[in-house]
Amino acid sequence: MKRDLLVFAALLGALLLAPVVIYPVFLIKVLCFALFASAFNLLIGYVGLLSFGHAMFFGFAAYVSAYLIKTLAFTPELALLAATAVAAAMGLVVGLIAIRRQGIYFAMVTLALAQMVFFLCVQAPFTGGEDGIQGVPRRAAFGLVDLRSDLALYYFVLAVFVLGFLIIYRTIHSPFGQVLKAIRENEARAISLGYRVDQYKLLAFVISAALAGLAGATKALVFPASLTDVQWQMSGEVVLMTLVGGIGTVLGPTVGAAVIVTMQNYLKGFGEWVLIIQGLIFVATVLLFRRGVVGEIEALLGGANGKKASPPGH
Confidence of residue 93 (pLDDT cuts 50, 70, 90): very high
Confidence of residue 79 (pLDDT cuts 50, 70, 90): very high
Asked if the structure places residue 73 within a domain, the reply is yes
Asked if the structure places residue 3 within a domain, the reply is no
47, β-bridge pairs: none
Percentage of residues of the chain with pLDDT beyond 70:
95
Residue 205 has pLDDT above 80, yes or no: yes
Residues in contact with 61: Cβ distance below 8 Å, sequence separation at least 6, in sequence order: 83, 84, 86, 87, 212, 213, 214, 215, 216, 217, 220
Asked if the structure places residue 141 within a domain, the reply is yes
**47 burial via Cβ count (<10 Å: 0-12, 13-18, 19+):** buried
Q: For position 298, what pLDDT does the model report?
A: 80
Asked if the structure places residue 89 within a domain, the reply is yes
How many domains does the chain fold into? 1
- DSSP code per residue over 240-257: HHHHHH-TT-SSHHHHHH
Q: For position 269, what pLDDT does the model report?
A: 73
The residue among 235, 194, 53, 201 whose CA lies nearest residue 243 is 235
Asked if the structure places residue 236 within a domain, the reply is no
Asked if the structure places residue 312 within a domain, the reply is no
Residue 80 near residue 218, CB atoms below 8 Å = yes
Q: What is the pLDDT of residues 121-163, one digit of tens each?
A: 999 888 888 888 988 898 888 888 888 889 999 999 999 999 9
Asked if the structure places residue 58 within a domain, the reply is yes
Residue scoring higher pLDDT (232 or 303): 232
The residue among 163, 161, 162, 167 whose CA lies nearest residue 42 is 167
Asked if the structure places residue 199 within a domain, the reply is yes
Q: What is the pLDDT of residues 225-249, one digit of tens each?
A: 999 999 988 998 999 899 888 898 8
Q: Which domain holds residue 168?
A: 22-231
Q: For position 303, what pLDDT does the model report?
A: 57
